[in-house]
Amino acid sequence: MSNIEDFVALPDILAPALRVVFCGINPGVEAATCGHHFLGRGNRFWPVLHEAGFTPHRLVPGEDRDVLAYGIGLTTAVARPTHSAAQLRQEEFAASAAALLDKLARYRPQCIAFLGKAAYLGITGQRDAAWGAQDQPLGPSRVWLLPNPSGLNRTFSRQQLVDAYSALNRSLSLRR
């Protein structure tokens, strides 16, 4: 069996001038191995993305590159895959911040939506933040903080996720 460090990083799905880039904490081992975002069993990202109005039909992980057609990109705060985000160290977030800022400067998305507080707080070094729109941009992009859709995060129901993601989608539509 290979070590996690042996896995190739999950490739970003990015293009210039996207409406939003969804930024997960880090890839799961299975996602990195298969090369598709939000692959984990029970991950609610794809159904929530559709139900919140970002896509006209529900995509599956194997169709993750199709998000570009809808003005959406995908990346992670930390590239290293793990079995659980709890395995990440604070130093990894700090070390990844410059790479994320470089991506934002290069691709200039209208908004970056962090999926979970761990990614946002780890990258920015802040101690706490409220859900939703943030006051300070990150590079050229507005920032939103959304609950993580992982199946391991049962603090938020699917409907609460849809409501939060829908609010972001409405805010992007208002700024076109």
Domain ranges for the chain, please list them.
17-174
Residue 120 exposed, middle or buried by CB count within 10 Å (0-12, 13-18, 19+):
buried
Q: Which residues are identified as catalytic?
A: 26, 37
Separation between Cα atoms, residue 165 and residue 89, nearest integer Å: 27
What does pLDDT average to over the chain?
A: 89
pLDDT of 71 reads: 97
Question: Regarding the domain delimited by 17-174, which CATH topology (the fold level of the hierarchy) does it fall under?
Answer: Uracil-DNA Glycosylase, subunit E (3.40.470)
pLDDT of 37 reads: 92
pLDDT of 140 reads: 95
Percent of the chain with pLDDT over 70: 93
pLDDT of 1 reads: 37
Write out pLDDT tens, residues 128-138: 999 999 999 99
Average pLDDT of 40-44? 85
Q: What is the pTM for the complete model shown?
A: 0.91
Write out pLDDT tens, residues 48-59: 999 999 999 999
pLDDT of 2 reads: 44
CA 131 to chain centre: 14
Residue 115 token pair: 């999926």
Write out pLDDT tens, residues 73-114: 999 888 776 777 777 777 787 788 989 999 999 999 999 999
